């Protein structure tokens, strides 16, 4: 079964728990799929929008983000955390972070894109936890990028709701201890979901070109000194 995927999907990226699910990458869009949860497709340029978004048989909702004008053809991607995927775009080398927006512990409702910078376009990306990214570019040079965890504020349209007004202007506020505790928990949770986990990158080391490389797989030998 196609599960509503686009015809030109060229990569499936599994996402670790607690987020779970997979991100299917095509040239003009991405689709988030989860076995027990809602799925959606995000169009990243005009070519990613179907002629008829409500066509019969379509099983995934379409999110229109064509204003981003991102083309994912031949891109490389690597998971940095359960909610963040790093992309290297061809031919410009522009780096993008796809932030999965959660409502709850593992419910993905949207994807926000940010760009932390630019590098040589990558054939392959590999991550070592959240600390380093190894980028092999199209001419064979290898760069080790040091990551620094940061955070970005969610767009206003995705901000969690503010706490409701519990009394009218001029009325005495309710002062029960239980209510104060609940309001405090609400504010703490709201602060958590107001921001996205993000990263900045600095080049920590480079190796000279070894000639054009189209595939690189890091290999670590256990029990031997490197």
To the nearest whole number, what is the mean pLDDT of the chain? 81
> Architecture of 11-156+197-207 per CATH?
7 Propeller (2.130)
45-60 pLDDT per residue, tens: 998 887 665 655 556 7
As a whole number of angstroms, the distance between CA 174 and CA 8 comes to 57
Closest CA to 98 of 191, 12, 197, 21: 197
Q: Which residue has the higher pLDDT, 216 or 81?
A: 81
176-203 pLDDT per residue, tens: 777 667 666 656 666 666 788 899 999 9
Output the pTM of the full model: 0.77
Query: Is residue 1's pLDDT more than 50?
Result: no
Domain ranges of the chain: 11-156+197-207, 160-193
Closest CA to 65 of 10, 122, 114, 108: 114
* Cβ density class 148-170: b for 16+ within 10 Å, e for less: eeeeeebeeeeeeeeeeeeeeee
């Amino acid at each position: 079964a196609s599960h509503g995927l686009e015809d030109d999907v060229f990569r499936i990226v599994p996402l670790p728990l607690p987020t779970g699910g997979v991100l299917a990458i095509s040239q003009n869009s991405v689709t988030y799929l989860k076995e027990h949860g809602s799925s959606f497709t995000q169009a990243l340029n005009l070519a990613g929008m179907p002629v008829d978004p409500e066509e019969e048989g379509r099983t995934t909702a379409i999110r229109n983000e064509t204003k981003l004008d991102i083309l994912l053809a031949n891109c490389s991607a690597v998971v940095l955390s359960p909610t963040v995927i790093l992309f290297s775009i061809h031919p410009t080398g522009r780096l993008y972070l796809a932030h999965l927006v959660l409502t709850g512990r593992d419910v993905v409702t949207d994807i926000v894109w940010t760009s932390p910078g630019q590098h040589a376009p990558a054939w392959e990306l590999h991550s070592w936890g959240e600390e380093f990214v190894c980028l092999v570019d199209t001419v064979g040079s290898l760069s080790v990028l040091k990551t620094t965890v940061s955070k970005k504020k969610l767009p206003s349209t995705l901000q969690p709701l503010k706490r409701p007004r519990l009394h009218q202007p001029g009325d005495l506020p309710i002062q029960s201890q239980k209510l104060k505790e609940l309001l405090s928990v609400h504010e703490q949770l709201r602060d958590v979901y107001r921001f996205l986990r993000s990263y900045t990158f600095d080049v920590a080391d480079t190796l000279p070109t070894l000639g054009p490389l189209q595939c690189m797989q890091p290999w670590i030998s256990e029990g031997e000194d490197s």
